[in-house]
Structure 1
Amino acid sequence: MKAYITAFLTANGNYDPDGVAWFHATHGNLGSAALSSASLDAAELALMTQTEKDSNNPLGFPLEWLMVPPALKATAMQINRNDTGTNNWYQRFGANNERIFVNELLTDTNDWYAGCFPSYAPVLEVGFLDGIETPQIFLANQPTVGVTFSNDQIQYKVKSVFGGKPVDFRPIFKAVVA
């Protein structure tokens, strides 16, 4: 599931309603600055000034989480822990960094993502076949007879069927850092 959702972020496919890439300057959710207090300020401004689809009313999305590759973990933690200077992000991601998500599947060591919680606006919609959200585990053979018993082998089949798609570009921000 984590790989599936991360692929949406890194692939940056087209957003169906307008045919433009999900993260794009036209959408106002793409930056290029390295992770810093100032770049987080810019990301939050971009989120807060996103407008409703059919009007120019600002949505005011707060920046509530940060996702970084392992290479940016120390930088993200330092920004969240630094209470000096011009840094206004002191403990904004939680006193124990609980809203900083380090995603080892992010392969670009400089890019980072930020956004608001789905309670404000969903970014992705994920659905599960027949509403079954937990993996189903099947035992392949009877464990008390045949080769399963004599060879001390048990075979399992694990099945989880799900799909998803981006539903909105407004509540999420990406920085592609050169």
Structure 2
Amino acid sequence: MQAVASLRYGVIFKKAFSQPDVFTAFVRDILGIELIIDHVETEKSFPSAIGNIANHFDLFAEDKVNRIIVDIQHRRYADHYHRFLHYHCVQKVLRTIRRDTLSPEDHARMKDEYSEEELRRTEWEKAEQRGLLKGLERGLEQGKQAERLAVARNLLDVLDDTTIAQKTGLRNAQVAQLRQEHG
């Protein structure tokens, strides 16, 4: 069994799928389009924006005969392995992404991508935790407010508005509104 680098890394994905025969086979299998290309550009961008958009393509190929342009963007998903298993097992792809054939630059970019992914995951988890805590605090505050209002309603028949506001922590206007609703 060969040790290969994971397609989850953009540098490896581009290296594997930038070969014209692999690219055309992938496009044929996914889109059902036959391409006639002799090269695939990686990290393609145009010198000026097209419309209001400055495009950047991970993989870009132009079939000049059929007037077709195809670009493929690398995106990491949890099921990346299953979606590309077929291509991961093709011998040419395996030879291309064997760990022992990767350059020091490939390894460095893989480490950078891994670090960015870990940072995003950590930041996401922190944000999720902050959101949960904020939601919990908001829920507790709403519960306290509902309790204050319930106590104030019970005191309307026995105390004046100012005293109820002082004892419950409600504003005088809130107590006055409760009194109007209570009628």
Band the TM-score falls in, shorter-chain normalisation = under 0.3
Higher relative contact order (CA 8 A, sep 6+): 1
More strand by percentage: 1
More helix by percentage: 2
Compute the TM-score of the two structures, normalised by the length of structure 2.
0.23
User: Rg: which structure is higher?
Assistant: 2
Compute the TM-score of the two structures, normalised by the length of structure 1.
0.23
